[in-house]
């Protein structure tokens, strides 16, 4: 392993998480696969091979399904608060291993160490939320129209839940899904991104310790590895009633079709093309802070990253100047060095998409005002480091309508009332996150009204990025319509049952229907 990685203690990180450094052998999790094909994980930080995992075969998947379905029969009968206690212990384990797992996230995926640690904190927070939820899986009671009858609703677990996660949040999104599914009584099979498989093995190692301590079947939490073909084992399987998939809109459409063809349920968290509207009543300093983090955080590889800044013409030049000046202060480099703001893109394919997007915006008539380029030289050997770019553009440019997973921010000028800006914001295929910067109460309320943002997330005086676990997370249109994390998102992991109890000696029918024998 390269000296730069050792400098930040990566070998000790791997050891702490039950993984082996590449120079001591390949990492191992609790799942032993029969296949010979391996999936190698290279760090975008320095281009070094961290380790490898075995790709799941169809035979392996069948063995995993057998374990999962057997475990479900045991897990579903445990009272929900007892399941919550297991999740509480998982959260405590994460607290102890937060630094190690946060570093692995940063090194394998490329986000800043602060963001890596924040992602693990998000896992801890959702564990806490799920523990409380385990005592609040409420149904409803309602009055029957028939005398001597009682009606109520209750929720039961679905069974085996399939989870497909993306590279940009290699651990948190899995935790959003699996902790809620667990307290609901489901068991889970997880296919992490093939671009960050070691994070998946590390999480599996942590939960396996908790399950073993409680003498519970390991099939409650299952891990499979590979590309979209391995994910297809789950999406096409009738034994998995719910597939939760996070990724691109293109991927989501494939998953949705596979699952719909067997009348299964999908929870989709797909692309975002998020905008911040900046009105004449905005605080410029707050706007710059919110927009810059939204655009360059995780090197622009968040589904909630700020892609478009829609600025009123009266303050356009002032906002533009503030954003450009802020970009000059960005430090780009090894994300494990906390003095750096921006780390690498995930791989060279992402770099090529970044370069093609910059080329296309110029071809369509846009102007680059903060030049983007691939960085070279010492510290940039992986070839995945790029400079965050800013371009002036028109809202109808094809490239502006497209989500490019890279740090490119488009500045768009609007005139007239805020309604014009809202129309521009909504006029894209995606509908995940949105924000408005204004101190005008009427503008803020309009933005949040039925006439305002059409996104699943709408913020006032904060950016588009950085959601809390207490609220339901998700979006509309080509973002997929799913909701994860807080609020009542737990209901998607359960099946609803309506019960009617007759405690009389007669059998009256609803709607007053007579059927006498």
**What CATH number should be reported for the domain holding residue 181?**
3.40.605.10
Question: Residue 20 corresponds to which tokens in the numbers above?
Answer: 């082996």
Check if 269 is active-site: yes
Tell me the average pLDDT across 70-82: 98
Residue 245 has pLDDT above 70, yes or no: yes
- The verdict on 157 and 83 lying in the same domain is yes
DSSP state letters, 145-208: SSTTEEEEEEEEE-SEEEEE--TTSTTHHHHHHHHHHHHHT-EEEEE--TTSHHHHHHHHHHHH
Residue 477 belongs to a domain: no
Tell me what percent of the chain is helix, strand and coil, each rounded to the nearest 5.
40, 20, 40
The answer to whether residue 480 sits within a structural domain is: no
Task: List phi, psi (to 5°) of 315.
Answer: -120, 10
Between CA 448 and CA 452, with CA 451 as vertex, the angle to 5 degrees is 40
Identify whether 220 is part of a domain: yes
- Mean pLDDT over each residue of the chain, to the nearest integer: 95
CATH of the domain at 427: 3.40.309.10
The number of angstroms, rounded, from the C-alpha of 221 to the middle of its chain's C-alpha atoms is: 19
Mean pLDDT of 373-399: 97
How large a percentage of the chain has pLDDT more than 70?
A: 95
pLDDT at 27: 36
Spatial contact of 469 and 129, defined as CB atoms under 8 Å apart: yes
Residues 241 and 293 in one domain: no
Same domain, 164 and 187: yes
Q: Which of 303, 455, 478, 484 is catalytic?
A: 303
- Whether 512 is covered by a domain: the verdict is no
| Predicted confidence (pLDDT) per residue in 105-164, tens digit | 999 999 999 999 999 999 999 999 999 999 999 999 999 999 999 999 999 999 999 999
Are 430 and 456 spatial neighbours (Cβ–Cβ below 8 Å)? no
State residue 111's pLDDT score: 97
260 & 340 share domain: no
301 CB-near residues (< 8 Å, 6+ apart): 111, 167, 168, 345, 346, 350, 405, 406
318 in a domain, yes or no? yes
Token pair belonging to 493: 């992991």
My answer on whether 416 and 468 are in the same domain is: yes
Co-location of 204 and 312 in the same domain:
no
Residues 291 and 264 placed together within one structural domain of the fold = no
Q: What is the tens place of the pLDDT at every residue in 189-230? A: 999 999 999 999 999 999 999 999 999 999 999 999 999 999
**Same domain assignment for residues 149 and 37:** yes
Q: Which helix (H) or strand (E) holds 499?
A: strand 494-502
- The verdict on residue 482 lying in a domain is no
- 210 occurs within a structural domain: yes
pLDDT in tens, 45-66: 999 999 999 999 999 999 999 9
Tokens representing residue 173 in the block: 């999104």
CB atoms within 10 A of CB 288: 21
For residue 241, the Cα-to-chain-centroid distance in whole angstroms is: 20
pTM value is 0.95
Does the active-site annotation cover 303?
A: yes
From CA 464, how far away is CA 291, in angstroms rounded?
Answer: 8
Element (H, E) at 175: helix 172-184
- The dihedral over CA atoms of 244, 270, 466, 382, expressed in degrees to the nearest 10, equals 100
Instruction: Tell whether the model's pLDDT for residue 31 goes beyond 70.
Output: no
Of 389, 379, 378, 390, which is closest to residue 343 (Cα–Cα)? 379
Are 471 and 487 in contact by the 8 Å Cβ rule? The answer is yes
Sign of the CA dihedral with 444 first, then 445, 451, and 455 last: positive
Identify the domain containing residue 214 by its residue range: 3-269+487-496
Query: Phi/psi zone of residue 453: left (φ > 0), alpha (ψ -120 to 50 degrees), beta?
Result: beta
Q: Tens of pLDDT along 437-460?
A: 999 999 999 999 999 999 999 999
Specify whether 278 is located in the same domain as 401: yes
Q: Is 481 a domain residue?
A: no
Q: At what angle do helices 113-133 and 80-96 cross, to 10 degrees?
A: 160
What pLDDT, in 10s, does the model give residues 461-504?
A: 999 998 899 999 999 999 999 999 999 999 999 999 999 999 99
Q: Do the beta carbons of residue 34 and residue 60 sit within 8 Å?
A: yes
Q: Give the total number of structural domains in the chain.
A: 2
Please check whether residue 301 is in contact with residue 170, taking contact to mean a CB–CB distance below 8 angstroms.
no
Q: Mark whether 348 and 246 lie in a shared domain.
A: no
Q: Which two tokens stand for residue 453?
A: 């943002």
pLDDT tens readout for residues 393-411 = 999 999 999 999 999 999 9
pLDDT tens-digit readout, 286-302: 999 999 999 999 999 99
- Catalytic residue chosen out of the listed positions 108, 122, 269, 443: 269
Quick one: 352 and 442 in the same domain? yes
Q: 136 and 31, same structural domain?
A: yes
Torsion, Cα of 19, 25, 28, 32 (10° steps): 180
């Amino acid at each position: 392993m390269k000296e730069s990685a050792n400098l930040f203690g990566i070998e000790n990180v791997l050891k702490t998480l039950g993984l082996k450094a590449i120079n001591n052998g390949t990492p191992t999790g609790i799942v032993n696969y029969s296949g010979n094909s391996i999936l190698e994980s290279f760090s975008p930080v320095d281009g070094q091979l961290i380790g490898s995992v075995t790709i799941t075969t169809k035979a392996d998947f069948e063995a995993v399904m057998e374990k999962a379905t057997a475990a479900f029969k045991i897990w579903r009968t445990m009272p929900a608060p007892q399941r919550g206690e297991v999740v509480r212990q998982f959260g405590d384990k994460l607290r102890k291993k937060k630094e190690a797992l946060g570093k692995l996230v940063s090194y394998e995926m490329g986000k800043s160490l602060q963001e890596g640690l924040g992602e693990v904190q998000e896992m801890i927070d959702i564990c806490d939320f799920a523990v409380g939820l385990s005592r609040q899986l409420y149904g409803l009671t309602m009055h029957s129209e028939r005398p001597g009858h009682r009606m109520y609703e209750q929720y039961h677990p679905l069974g085996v839940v399939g989870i497909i996660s993306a590279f940009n949040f290699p651990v948190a999104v899995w935790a959003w899904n699996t902790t809620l599914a667990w307290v609901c009584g489901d068991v889970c099979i997880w296919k992490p991104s093939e671009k960050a498989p070691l994070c998946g093995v590390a999480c599996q190692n942590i939960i396996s310790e908790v399950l073993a301590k409680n003498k519970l079947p390991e099939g409650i939490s299952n891990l499979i590895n590979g590309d979209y073909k391995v994910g297809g084992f789950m999406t096409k399987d009738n034994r998995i009633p719910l597939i939760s998939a996070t990724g691109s809109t293109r991927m989501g459409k494939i998953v949705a079709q596979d699952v719909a063809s067997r009348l299964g349920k999908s929870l989709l968290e797909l692309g975002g093309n998020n905008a911040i509207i900046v009105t004449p009543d905005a605080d410029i300093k707050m706007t710059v802070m919110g927009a810059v983090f939204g655009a360059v955080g995780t090197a622009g590889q968040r589904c909630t990253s700020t892609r478009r800044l829609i600025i009123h013409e009266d303050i356009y030049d002032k906002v533009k100047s503030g954003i450009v000046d802020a970009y000059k202060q960005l430090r780009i480099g090894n994300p494990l060095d906390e003095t750096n703001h921006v780390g690498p893109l995930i791989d060279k394919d992402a770099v090529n998409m970044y370069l093609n997007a910059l080329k296309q915006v110029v071809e369509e008539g846009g102007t680059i005002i903060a030049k983007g380029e691939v960085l070279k030289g010492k510290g940039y050997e992986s070839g995945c480091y790029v400079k965050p770019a800013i371009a002036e553009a028109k809202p109808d440019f094809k490239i502006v309508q497209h989500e490019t997973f890279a740090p490119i921010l488009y500045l768009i000028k609007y005139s007239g009332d805020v309604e014009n800006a809202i129309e521009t914001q909504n006029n894209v295929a995606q509908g995940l996150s949105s924000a408005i910067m204004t101190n005008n109460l009427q503008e803020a309320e309009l933005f949040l009204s039925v006439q305002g943002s059409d996104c699943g997330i709408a913020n006032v005086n904060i950016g588009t990025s950085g959601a809390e676990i207490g609220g339901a997370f998700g979006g509309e249109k080509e973002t997929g319509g799913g909701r994860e994390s807080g609020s009542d998102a737990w209901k998607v992991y359960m099946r609803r049952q309506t019960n009617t109890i007759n405690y009389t000696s007669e059998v009256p029918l609803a709607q007053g229907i007579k059927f006498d024998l």
